[in-house]
Amino acid sequence: MIRYQTVSKTFPTGGGVRDLTLEIPTGKITALVGPSGSGKSTALKLVNGLLAPSDGTLCIQGIPQKEWNPIELRRSVGYVPQNGALFPHMTVLENVTLPQEILLGASNPRISQAKNLPEKRFRRATHALKQVELDSTEFGNRYPHQLSGGQKQRVAVARTLVTDPKIILLDEPFSALDPLTRKRMQILLTKLHKELGFTSIVVTHDVAEAFAVADYAAVMDRGRLVESGDLQSLANNPQSAYLQELLAHTQQQSQHLQTELGEP
């Protein structure tokens, strides 16, 4: 469904992605793992056309990114950034209804007008909030500044669900949350994925998060793909020095934590 073929994206100021060849398995969650500046966010933003490749071909649903109408492409791909990026002047319900509203008057609406009546939109938004385990009667009329960090991210996820996207991109979605909330969000994401079966890319610098949510992983460092594959085999048999170091460090951390808590 998403295939990078020798894709490069360079910036005048440096950074970016170099010569990336990678296939994202359809219907699975793939984690893009790497330190900051490794180019993982750049690789993500190429998919919904927030950035355009400098070189190479990136195909989404078999069509090169360059040939997509950018607006059509973005409307069919969900996007959740780190801080949720909720619109502060809109209530929760208004934020969640917005993606359907912007389809109104579109030349080639993916949702037909009949399906896009105000009450239908309202019902769909309420349902999306239920899917992310938020009660719309309690939260629907709140403004973003009245929500906790975890609630904001739930709303941001709900906002992508209302147009039933086949692809959802998440850019460090849970990095700013406290550990317990992060854990709950990771569980929510896997639950939603099991129900809905979308293809998803999750950008994260945290290997533990990759293990918690993803089936596949691609490890990136300094703009290049280091290795990729299904998570279990990557964990059992890491090829690159970078991943070996990363896994060892994560293991150390969890052992350290376990000793401190006095568990065996």
Partner 1 sequence: MNFTELGTLTLAHLRLTLTAAMASCLLSVPLGVLASRNRKVSGLLLGVSGIIQTIPALAFLAAMVPLLSYLGAPAIGTVPAVLGLCAYAVFPILVATVTGIQQVPKELQEQTKAMGMTTRQSLLRVEIPLAAPLILAGVRTATVWTVGMATLATPIGAKSLGNYIFTGLQTRNHSLVLWGCVTAALLAIGLQSVVTVAERFLKAHKKAHFRWVVGTATALSLWIIAAPLVVSAFPKERQTSIGTKGFTEQLILGALIEHSIHQHQPKHQTIVLESLGSSVVFDGLTHNAIDLSVDYSGTLWNMLVVPERHKRAQGSKPPGQMALQGFLADFLLKQHNVHILAWLGFENSYAFAVQSDLADRLQLNTISDLAIHASQLELGNDYEFLKREVWKSLQNTYRLEFKATRTMDPALMYDAVSHGEVDVITAFTTDGRINTHNLRILTDDKHAIPAYDAALLANGQWVAEHPETAEHLRTLANSIDNHTMRRANLWVDIEKDTPSHVANRLLQQQ
Joined together, the tokens standing for residue 5 give 């073929």
**Residues 41-60 as x/- pattern, contact with partner 1 by CB under 8 A:** -------x-x----------
List all residues 6 or more positions away from 138 whose beta carbon is below 8 Å from its beta carbon.
Answer: none
Query: Does residue number 75 form part of the binding site for partner 1 (CB under 8 A)?
Result: yes
Which range binds partner 1 by CB under 8 A, 22-30, 71-79, 116-124, 181-189? 71-79
* Residue selected from 71, 117, 187, 248 as contacting partner 1 according to rule CB under 8 A: 71
User: Per-residue b/e over 146-155, b at no fewer than 16 CB within 10 Å?
Assistant: ebebbbbbbb
**Strand 16-24 with 2-10, pairing:** antiparallel
In the complex, what is the shortest distance from the CB of residue 73 to partner 1, in angstroms, rounded to a whole number? 8
Of 98, 176, 235, 247, the one binding partner 1 by CB under 8 A: 98
Q: Per CB under 8 A, which region of 30-38, 55-63, 79-87, 237-245 contacts partner 1?
A: 79-87
Are 214 and 31 in contact, with CB atoms under 8 Å apart?
A: yes
Tokens matching residue 80 = 């959740």
Beta bridge partners of 203: 32, 171
Q: How far is the CB of 98 from partner 1 (least distance, A)?
A: 7
What order do you get walking across the sheet with 2-10 strand by strand? Answer: 16-24, 2-10, 55-60, 63-64
Considering the rule CB under 8 A, would residue 83 count as an interface residue with partner 1?
Answer: yes
The CB-of-88 to partner 1 minimum distance in angstroms stands at: 7
**Stretch of 31-39, 73-81, 128-136, 208-216 lying at the interface with partner 1 (CB under 8 A):** 73-81
User: For the chain, how many helices (H) and strands (E)?
Assistant: 10, 10
If the CB atoms of residues 171 and 221 are measured against partner 1, the closer one turns out to be 171
User: How many residues line the site for partner 1 (CB under 8 A)?
Assistant: 19
**How do strand 216-221 and strand 199-204 relate by DSSP bridges?**
unpaired
Which residues here bind partner 1, judged by CB under 8 A? 48, 50, 71-76, 79, 81, 83, 85, 87-89, 98-99, 102, 143
